[in-house]
Amino acid sequence: MKLNSEVRYAAHPRDVKHYTTQELRENYLIEKVFGPDEMNVVYSMHDRMVAGGIMPVKEAVELKPLDIMRSEFFLRRREIGLFNVGGEGIVTIDGKEIKMQFKEALYIGKGDKKVTFRSTGRRNPAKFWFCSSPAHAAYPDHLTTKESAVKMVLGSLEESNSRTINRMLVKEVVPTCQLQMGMTELNPGSTWNTMPAHTHNRRMEVYFYFDIDENQAVCHFMGEPDETRHIWMKKDQAVISPEWSIHAACATRNYTFIWAMCGENLDYNDMDACATTDLK
């Protein structure tokens, strides 16, 4: 296996106002998530969230600690949530195997020492998207299917944002320290997500976009409500959203995205709404 990692530093919003397109992408876009038998990781200084992807093809890939962690194993002081966005895969946690299907989510608690990932077939390999936050306590591992998620149906076709929010790794489903994750699926004909937009100074967020054709694109909107910016993204890419930033998108067709939050609390509804007419 090959481990590719980098560190992204936090920035003040007044500095981000002066970023070029390339600087925005270098600081917030996670462009390469999956590679055969690779673990690609970004360590963000925003709430010390770690985000990345693992795609085992010919061999099992082990969850390895990053140098910046100064830890003998990845989950020594962390928890992790992951989604399978590819073919059937198997996650082995200290000898215990858990089979994961497409769009299923798995929480792994602090203290588990050896975690490995493999695919059941090479032609359609599993693709594991994960996010990890610091943890102060250990909670049991938990597999969440779409059927067992807390579902919220929002929006309308008239507003181009008819969607289902699957809250899968949240306190109503599984206990966690500070990590929350879920998956939002947009219906055909809908392209906007997270509108009206919002911010939450108590939590940062990461969005991972998938379930969209290779020749389509997603335009992710970020920045303070009165000074927004955008980043064009492709399938299987992710973006870091600082606590002071909105996080919304519009694409050239419907898509699915996975959101992950960590920070001050576990209250999903703790957010500061921004009126659409106030965005600039």
Q: Going from the N-terminus, what domains does the chain have, and what CATH number goes with each? A: 2-278 (2.60.120.10)
How many other C-beta atoms lie within 10 A of the C-beta of residue 22? 8
Backbone angles phi, psi at 177, to 5 degrees: -80, -60
pLDDT band at 224 (very low <50, low <70, confident <90, very high): very high
CA pair distance 207, 11, nearest whole angstrom? 18
Angstrom distance (rounded) from CA 137 to CA 78 = 9
Q: Report the alpha-carbon distance of residue 20 to residue 126 in Å, rounded.
A: 35
CB-CB neighbours of 97 under 10 Å: 10
Across the range 77-96, mean pLDDT stands at 98
Alpha-helical regions (H) of 10-95: 13-16, 21-28
- Specify whether the CB–CB gap between 207 and 249 falls below 8 A: yes
Name 61's bridge partners: 117
Residues facing 78 on adjacent strands: 134
Q: C-alpha dihedral over 98, 56, 86, 211, to 10 degrees?
A: 140
Q: What count of other Cβ atoms lies within 10 Å of the Cβ of residue 20?
A: 8
Higher pLDDT, 72 or 268: 72
pLDDT digits (tens, 9 = 90+) for 160-176: 999 999 999 999 999 99
The two structure tokens encoding residue 245: 């930033």
Q: What is the pTM of this model?
A: 0.96
Q: What is the sign, positive or negative, of the torsion defined by CA atoms of 171, 87, 233, 62?
A: positive
Per residue in 89-141, pLDDT (tens digit) is 999 999 999 999 999 999 999 999 999 999 999 999 999 999 999 999 999 99
Cβ-contact 180, 172 below 8 angstroms? no
b/e map 66-78, b = 16+ CB within 10 Å:
beebeeebbbeeb
Residue 99 β-bridge partners: 90
Q: Which tokens is 225 given? A: 């409500």
Mean pLDDT, range 253-275, rounded to an integer? 93
